[in-house]
Structure 1
Amino acid sequence: MAGKKKVTSTDIARAAGVSQATVSMVLNRKYNVSFSKETVRKVEEAAKELGYVLPKRKVRKESRREKLLVVFCSNLTNPYYVMLLQGIELRAKEQGYGLFVCNTQRDLRMEERYLKMMNELHPVGIIYTCNPSHCFMDTVEKLAEEIPVVIVNNQNEHLNVDAVELDNSKLGRIMARHLLELGHRKVAYIAPPLTVRQKQRSKRVEGFLKEFEKAGLRDQVIIKAADEEIDLDIAHIDSEYKIGYDLTKELLAEQQDVTAIVGLNDMIAFGILDALQEAKLKVPGDVSVMGCDNTLFASMHKMSLTTIEHFVIFKGRDACDIIMKKIDSRREKYTDVEPISTYHVEYEPRLIVRGTTSYPKSGTKSRKKKN
């Protein structure tokens, strides 16, 4: 017995008295083309009577794999990470790639959870906007054997993956030299928790201290770092700002003769500025203030923050470019041997002097404690 003949769109067109193209557009719900209700009714009824079944669309299994980049961020409350993301997204969009952002909030469990998801997501590349946690270094290096992995990291970390590097020690040295050249001798440095997990922070502080040590003034630097518990809490929108604000209030209660206060980053510096304003201290007349990262808010007239530019958006763009180069090199084989290359990109940081730093005020040491 012969098998039942398969119903086609041409059969429906004949039964409904319309063109085959009309049948195709009606049944495939092409909403950019309009038909009368009568035409739609005819086509649908004919299809139903003839037992027509829409052919299943072929789903390209590799389409998601070819288009998805994963970005690991530790904190999206700091504009620094948003700027990195902006650089990555601009380049990814140009190349037709989508982003999946993993905000770990510096939580080891969150980071582990996202890393386990990589087998399901099948990204073509991964960008870490900070160093991976030490306990996951092996996992990240294994992933890098399968797909391109780029880390925007501290130069002193040794990883067998591609990196857009940042010499945090150099940033600290530039900040210190600026204040020393202005004549500041007694200064304070305010930082988030300086834990083993956050080596990049410590490197920035160490660079700062080395310059003061060379000038014979190491004991004139007061380091105030937040408690480790702050990193264990979920990052709030104002967490780094609060570190700057709260620790400056503490500092003013303890010390009255610092002529400059440095924030490890711009967000901390904004908190320092507000605490000084609340204490009715003029910036830079009474106390100079410095930040780092040259985030968007730093250049606003009310802030006018002296800071360090290290080309954050460019770093995001370059991290994405490295992924693209690795993907292309695997596609375009001109030899039987697969090329192995490791990219390292580094920008020379620049001091941006604005309105929050100046020469120390004479007689600062005799400044009276304010109630």
Structure 2
Amino acid sequence: MSDSLPRPTRGVIALRWALVAPLSLMAGWVFTIFHVPASWILAAIVVAGACALITGQDLPMAKSVHIFGRSMIAVLAALPLISAPTRDLLHYLLPGVVISFFTVAVGVIGGLLLSRSRKEISPETGVLSMLAGGASVMPVLAKELGADFRYVALSQYLRLLVVSMTLPLVTHFFAPYGTGAERRAVAGLEVFGLGEFGTSTSIFSLAVLALIVVAGEPLGRLLHLPAAAVLGPLLLTVGLSTVLPAGINIEPPTLFKILAFMAIGWMCGGALNLTALKVFAKQLPATFLFIFALMAVCAAAAVLLTFWLDISYFEAYLATSPGALETVLALSSEGEAGPVVVTIQIIRLLAILAIAGWLPGILRLILRNRN
């Protein structure tokens, strides 16, 4: 898909942002009230996308905002890893790797089949759009790896929407607690907005976050990490957490999270055009087929997990859910599930990020062997 949209003047860009930014905030707030999955990202995609489609021009975003957004997303991706006990990570490492293999294999196969069905979709774009987990990270990785981040974003958030809506309904049949209505009410309060972000942030914590934003990507490039703009800040966050004094909170404050989520949405929506939407629309049947196939594979893998780790199917299903981590954690918390849920999800998230980061080399190897 072509990225060669006409570039507006600076004055026009400023005027459009004066409309897009407040409208995105309003839409995100409304989406949050109605518990729309990934409310702030989707609101920004809708508003920025509408602006790009109506004007026929892209909506360029300041580089500093883009760097800040992807750095905060990396910090958020690192937080579950920091909070998980090392003992749990080691105990569930092998099951997590096996579950990751299932979901990654389905994503890679589905993505390659998708790319073969449409010449406009590259193998990198197809695979990144089909990998389950880390939906907010995938568009950033896609942009770094030269894939079509617009198509990746649309596919990822469609999957997130489907999984988020079906999780409370499906788990109702085997949850060990309460009623479905009660569970959905609690999940709706904790998820889809920004959750419980009432933690206090000190000046020192803000300085640490500033350091991650400024030094994360250069560190990633210095270490020759794949997708350095994401993995660099993520690695720096984990490293700093091991040396910071106890009690220092490096979780981004609510405003930072909102801005980061909207920055991802603006990046994707601001570059939308009719060509991108037409290609995505043509692939909707195949995309839905893949989503439900992936959910079926994960549900089958959950059966294996129940016998392997001697846990309930409720815990296993949540642990293998293909994405919608916020919904998973809310349901897990109310259902008093064990640490297996968050640990397996973390291990798979790390596997997904590793696969995505090294994707070009992996695809070259696969395609060479196939030929």
TM tier, shorter chain?
under 0.3
- Of structures 1 and 2, the one with the larger relative CO (CA 8 A, separation 6+) is 2
Larger Rg: 1
Determine which structure has the larger strand proportion and give its number: 1
Query: If each structure's helix is expressed as a fraction of its own residues, which one has the higher value?
Result: 2
Normalised to the residue count of structure 2, the TM-score between the two structures is: 0.21
